[in-house]
Amino acid sequence: MSTDPTIVFLHGLGETRQAWASVIQQLPEFTSCCVDVLDAGRHSGGWSLDEASDQIVETLAGQVHLVGLSLGAVIALNIAVRHPEKVTSLLVSAPQYKPPRTLMRLQSLVMRILPERLVCPPETSKPEVLAVLKAVTDLDLSAGLASIGVPTRVVCGSKDKANLPAARATARLIPHACLDIIAGAGHQWHQTHPELFAATLKTHLAN
């Protein structure tokens, strides 16, 4: 697989582009950039997954390697389904293609109860975060995943119990996808284990 295309990093809900800084530091030989996924999908009625995906694609000069975690993984999968011509490869961590309603209700409840400073990244309000959760509550990418034809690696921390079932199912639904369960890692292992995340990405790009 060519490493010439840019690596585009898509962060999770409650994070900013800075969440990828430590991973990118481990990848000086690659051209990369980070996208603010909340800005991309904002509109007057809330937030839209398809609009976020389409707006991100509009900023891409050519084909890219997409790397996403959590919400970023959902967006990466959606881009690969909607705009396959733009994607060279995918690495998605803790993806959800059809989120369990119980999990979404729990996340929304936590967001409503906790102080804004604890659950929202800088310059993002609680209503904006809740709008994203509402937008993905009825998400179902099941049918589209079978159309993804680029090299795909699905990863998930072994301690990320809430997302392990979806990660395994995502890898089954995407033709020829690889699945890596990262021993001892949690949901945000790109921040707690940046060297390991970078090494996993390098392995993916080298295959």
Q: Which of 40, 108, 100, 42 is nearest to 76 (CA)?
A: 40
Task: Give, for all 207 residues of the chain, the pLDDT tens digit.
Answer: 444 799 999 999 888 999 999 999 999 999 999 999 888 878 766 899 999 999 999 999 899 999 999 999 999 999 999 999 999 999 999 999 998 877 777 777 877 787 777 767 776 778 888 888 888 888 999 999 999 999 999 999 999 998 999 999 999 999 999 999 999 999 999 999 999 999 999 999 998
What phi, psi does 42 have (nearest 5°)?
-70, 140
Q: Which residues of 21-49 are buried (b: 16+ CB within 10 A; e: fewer)?
A: ebbbebbeebebebbbbbebbbeeeebbb
Tokens of 100: 């369990």
Structure tokens at 184: 């001892």
Predicted structure pTM score: 0.92
CB-based contact 38:16 (threshold 8 Å): no
